[in-house]
Chain A
Amino acid sequence: MITGSIAGIGAGLAAIGAGIGIGQIGGKAMEGMARQPEAAGRIQTAMLIAAAFVEAVALFGVVVAFLGTK
């Protein structure tokens, strides 16, 4: 018998989406850095900002899960 809140599933789904997103961002940033090592610093900053935006979505999911569970 599985017990618990369905909110956990929601948080997990949000994490999947964000994981895919951050993976894409990281992968593309690596490609960019490999292609243009001299721009690595700027790419890294942009990558972190983009990753933070994507991550926020997953964190909203986690917070909603918090809201739903006590």
Chain B
Amino acid sequence: MTLLALNPLVSPDPGLFIWSTVAFLLLFFLLSKFAWKPIVKALDERERSIEDALAKAEMAKEEMAKLTNENELLLKQARSERDDILKQAKILKDQIVSDAKVSAQTEGSKMIEKARIEIENQKIAAIAEVKDQVATLSIQIAEKLLRKQFEDQNKQNALVTDLLKEVKLN
């Protein structure tokens, strides 16, 4: 202690030592109770909550990505389904159209055939009638001609004689 007492700069002063001990311990206890405890707790809690929030955000992001994926898949599926339906519809339509075409053609040709046959029949009938009429007319004409021919007795005689001559020859 005599060595330490040499220079006032390095000799501890009991008064200041006592006061600083009292003040520091008081400061320590007051601050630990009223400052450090709540501050450290609040910091820890905030950090934990931030970490939690980050983890939750990460989870939500993943969930979101999953959902989006699912959505996309669904959409894709729906789209392909729609395409399928459309394709089928188109095929059906084409078939219907072509069927209609074919049936219309056959029907038409049938009708045309029928009409032709009818026309043919009508023609035949008409020709037959014309023939009939021509025959009647020609018979009438022939009657009239004959009647006019045979009004004269002589001519009748002459014919009969001619006819007879022919018979002799035979």
A residues with CB within 8 A of B: 63, 66-70
Q: Which of A63, A66, A67, A68: most chain B Cβ within 10 A?
A: A67
Interface residues of B in 1-38 (CB under 8 A from A): 3-4, 6-7, 9-10
Which applies to chain A's interface (DSSP): helix, strand, loop or mixed?
Answer: helix
Q: In the complex, what residues of A have CB within 8 A of residue B4's CB?
A: 67
A68 to B6, CA, bound (A): 7
A70 to B6, CA, bound (A): 7
Q: In the complex, what residues of A have CB within 8 A of residue B3's CB?
A: 67
* Interchain nearest-CB distance for B91 vs A (Å): 66
Q: In the complex, what residues of B have CB within 8 A of residue A70's CB?
A: 6-7
A68 to B7, CA, bound (A): 8
Name 13 A/B residue pairs within 8 A (Cβ), A-sorted. Answer: A63-B10, A66-B7, A66-B9, A66-B10, A67-B3, A67-B4, A67-B6, A67-B7, A67-B10, A68-B6, A69-B7, A70-B6, A70-B7
A68 to B9, CA, bound (A): 12
Q: B3 — nearest CB in chain A belongs to which residue? A: A67
Q: In the complex, what residues of A have CB within 8 A of residue B10's CB?
A: 63, 66-67
